[in-house]
A and B are shown apart, each in its own frame.
Chain A
Amino acid sequence: MLNRGVNYKIPRNLLFLFESIALFLMFMYYRNALDRSTIIYGLSLIFIIYISNLILSKIVSGDNYIFLIVTMLASIGIIMIYRINYEQGFKQIIWISLGIVLFFATYFIVKRIKGWEKLFLYYCLASVFLFLATLLLGRRFKGAINWISIGGISFQPTEIIKILAILMIASYYTNYDRFKEKKWGRYYLIGIMYLFVFFLFLQRDLGSVLIFCSLFLALQYIYDENRKLVLANIVVLMFSGLLGYVIFPHVRIRFETWINPWEYIDTIGYQITQSLFAISEGGFFGTGLGLGHPDFIPEVSKDFIFSAICEEMGILTGIGVIMLFMILVYRGFKISINQRNKFFRIVALGISILFGIQSFIIFGGVINMIPLTGITIPFVSYGGSSMLSSFIALGILQVASEELDIEED
């Protein structure tokens, strides 16, 4: 009876086991301040994730690993955030639950409605609108203006623009032949992308600049027929990077802190050095949940959540998180290669590259392998905008993993 009921070879059961143990540790850590709602929230999270995976495996015909990987990442994130600050932990549980709902909603909407590849102009206008709104209404936060607040709810428009940009690029290359016939059609996309990067630079959001550039470059490399343009683009971007370094002090400062963070330990190097302390203190096995001091790192639950994971769960778990992202990206590419619908093929690639590059930039940043730019880890960091937009992207990827009609030409 028991043998038939519980089979730990099924990944979602393994995930369930992992979450249960971690949550138990969490409860032990808060044993003195534990109330009923905490337990209910925790258990319901496990339940939601388990049920979602179960439902998913029944209703979708496509890939059911990507959602599993993402819920594993989200679980690690929530446990860490919960341990650091349990008010944020509560909120994060709500964000994850909302994210899962949005994931299913996106999945059904994107699957039902046809003609996504024809909306190039709308994606473009919507993005520009959001950029302008950010610049006009935005609040400056940690040196970057990338938050806007409407009716008490603040969010980061860049998170949505990322998805819009992917859809835009995909619809451009799906309809490449038609654009080619127009006079400047070959240069539409590159012009728009430079505009986007310019906007991001105005916001001083260097992390997003990096993400957009790499995303665009990678897709252009795969799909653009004009190879000289690809090469020219690379040269121009490198040159602008160099120019940015020479002209703008806030770019230069990032590089200097990267080269020698210890010199600036009291000022701009404070965060990164605190992050390095946390990682080295953790060793391979970590201090154990609740036994380290990740709270010494400012903004730890957002940009520096990876350092907290390394401190308390060890770099072996850190490497595990990196590997989960690698598998996620790999599944995404596999989905893309198997997809015969060109639009969704490109969208799947775009989303995978987005997850890959974004996580690489912040992992590399907090371990000081590359200059630090403040962005979040998809699914892991604390924060609503990032969580919701990542789940939307995942919903689209889920659609792309299924057999779809080939667009009529």
Chain B
Amino acid sequence: MEKEIKRIITVLAGICILFVSLVVYLTYFQIFKADKVKNSSYNKRLWINEEKILRGSIIDRNGKILAYSELNGETYARVYNYGNLYSHIIGYSYRDYGKSNLELYYNNVLLNTSESAALNELKNLVEPNSEGNTLKLTIDHHLQEYSRNQMKGKKGAIVAMNPSTGEIYAMVSLPDFNPSTLREDWGNIVEDENSPLLNRAISGLYQPGSTFKVVTAISALENNMYMEDYECTGTAVVDGYPLKDYDGKGHGTVNLNEALIYSCNPYFAETGIKLGIDRLSETAEKFLLNREIPFDLPVKKSLFPKKGNIGKTDVAAASIGQGKVLVTPLNMALIASGIANKGDIMKPVLVKEVISKDGKVIDSFKAEVISRATDIFTANELKNMMVDVVNKGTGKNARISNIRVAGKTGTAENPSGNDHAWFIGFAPADDPKIAIAVILEEEGSTGGQKAAPIARNIMLEALNTINN
């Protein structure tokens, strides 16, 4: 009898363990796995729920409606008012093709649902929602349209922003696509070798060319290692490899300011070698290379050769923005912004406000410094040099009458094709309202000739039309 009861209790314990393991597994599943399972595209509920909710609209900084949803039979469908213009910012939202860009990354906000199922349910009990939130962007519709037109359909990217708040006014990437006709165009879009789905402004990596010299210059100023009178012969020989100027002619005796004005390659290559890779990369990383840039859309990390054992030629190439340096256009706009904003780089922002269905602002962005890239004196010194670049040097095409413009041109040698044309800058130099980066991919011409005029027009248009 004693033995029997012992065995009975053993069996009972076994069954209880089975039941408890059910509870544990179910809880584990709900906490760690459910979210992933739920968001599988095979889950039919996903679409039933979504299409019943009036997805929030997306508007520009002045309230112009860029995308909205309208009732189509029993469910809602998305309408994109401006075709290609916002393909790389707003993206698309389709049942069969999924979502991209803000439609993807702000999905929960647009639907006014939360990531946590439990919270959603509690909220549903209190207020069964059928309407999502509106996104107000920092984008200025007029400037966005103007900027895209300035590109005249060429491959490349533009980022125009407010240097003291981080607000992006315009972000263009070409080629783009039309979200309204995505279904019909899908086959062509995915096969197009120019990758229209790629947002070049934040995911394209390019050699920055001479625009990067502003970073080398800052490193030289901070470390007090710039040369007062350097004899430029048009070529510098590093480890047996000649580094030539763009036109191959010498600039004579130059100091740092003049070297920047004429974009003197030998000067910056020598300076870079003097600084060494450690000091250079320290400054580059303060300007967000090799670092994650927080943004409303995912940004590719810009690359700078890591500290340590790299050859002199690589250091020389890096200090003039060639070789192993790769940057996103957004990163270059942030470098210009940092110099404009007394050395502080602000967090770039695309979504200005989240507005609930009853018109209340439930979330708004806060200006935030993400990197103290340099001190105010160095920034000021660089600014003056960049003003000279536009007034006397390679950036003459960016000049605006009565407004002091700071800028730097770049013509990046592209190992796989024609040169890229770059321009970064800001205006007005003494109280910067707009900072910009323009790249024309494989343009085969100089930044000063092709990119600078585009940047000039956009900066002027922004100063004339945007009032905060």
Contact = CB atoms under 8 A, between A and B. Distances in A.
Interface in A329-386: 329-330, 333, 336-337, 349, 353, 356-357, 360, 363-364, 367, 369
Contacts of B42: 265, 273, 277
A24 B67 CA distance: 42
A199 B20 CA distance: 32
A218 B14 CA distance: 10
Given A285-B118, A336-B8, A369-B25, A326 B30 contact: no
A315 B27 contact: yes
Interface in A112-145: none
A406 B43 CA distance: 58
B30 A279 contact: yes
B197 to A, nearest CB: 26
A277 B37 contact: yes
A293 B8 contact: no
Interface in B1-38: 4-5, 7-12, 14-16, 18-23, 25-27, 29-30, 33-35, 37-38
B124 A322 contact: no
Nearest to B44: A296
Contacts of A281: 38, 43, 45, 117
Contacts of A323: 19, 23
Chain B binding site: helix, strand, loop or mixed by DSSP?
helix
A280 B22 contact: no
Contacts of A194: none
8 contacts: A279-B26, A283-B116, A285-B122, A318-B26, A360-B19, A363-B22, A367-B25, A369-B25
A300 to B, nearest CB: 14
Contact of B30 (A218, A280, A353): A280
Chain A binding site: helix, strand, loop or mixed by DSSP?
helix
A333 B12 CA distance: 7
Interface string A220-261: 011100000000000000000000000000000000000000
A277 B38 contact: yes
Interface string A292-307: 1100100000000000
Contacts of B8: 222, 333, 336-337, 349
B15 A360 contact: yes
Interface residues of A, number: 46
B362 interface: no
A356 B117 contact: no
B16 to A, nearest CB: 6
Contacts of A310: 26
Given A280-B29, A280-B35, A349-B8, A329 B15 contact: yes
Contacts, number: 121
A276 interface: yes
B148 to A, nearest CB: 41
B26 A287 contact: no
Contacts of B45: 277, 281, 292-293, 296
A164 to B, nearest CB: 21
A356 B15 CA distance: 7
Contacts of B30: 279-280, 283-284, 315
B121 interface: yes
A221 B11 contact: yes
Contact of B121 (A280, A283, A337, A353): A283
Nearest to A326: B19
A318 B35 CA distance: 18
Interface of B: 4-5, 7-12, 14-16, 18-23, 25-27, 29-30, 33-35, 37-38, 40, 42-45, 48, 116-118, 120-122, 124-125
A68 to B, nearest CB: 19
A172 to B, nearest CB: 15
Contacts of B4: 222-223
Interface of A: 218, 221-223, 262, 265, 273, 276-277, 279-288, 291-293, 296, 310, 314-315, 318-319, 322-323, 325-326, 329-330, 333, 336-337, 349, 353, 356-357, 360, 363-364, 367, 369
Nearest to A217: B11
A85 B70 CA distance: 33
Given A222-B8, A223-B4, A357-B15, A280 B122 contact: no
Contact of B21 (A221, A223, A369): A369
Contacts of B22: 322, 360, 363-364, 367, 369
Contact of A280 (B23, B44, B117, B120): B117
Contacts of B120: 283
Given A323-B23, A333-B12, 10 more contacts: A221-B7, A280-B35, A280-B38, A282-B117, A286-B121, A319-B23, A326-B19, A349-B8, A364-B18, A367-B25
A346 B22 CA distance: 26
A314 B125 CA distance: 14
A230 to B, nearest CB: 10
A257 to B, nearest CB: 15
Contacts of A315: 26-27, 30
Nearest to B25: A369
Nearest to B120: A283
6 tightest A-B CB contacts, nearest first? A283-B117, A280-B34, A222-B7, A280-B37, A280-B38, A356-B15
Contacts of B26: 279, 310, 315, 318-319, 322, 367
Contacts of B37: 276-277, 280
A296 to B, nearest CB: 6
Instruction: Give the one of B4, B11, B37, B125 with max A CB within 10 A.
Output: B11
B43 A277 contact: yes
Instruction: Give the one of A280, A281, A282, A357 with max B CB within 10 A.
Output: A280
A280 B27 CA distance: 10
A353 B7 CA distance: 13
B121 A287 contact: yes
A319 B221 CA distance: 67
B18 A360 contact: yes
Instruction: Give the one of B7, B22, B42, B125 with max A CB within 10 A.
Output: B22
Contacts of B10: 221
Contact of A322 (B11, B19, B121): B19
Nearest to B34: A280
A276 B29 CA distance: 9
Contacts of B25: 364, 367, 369
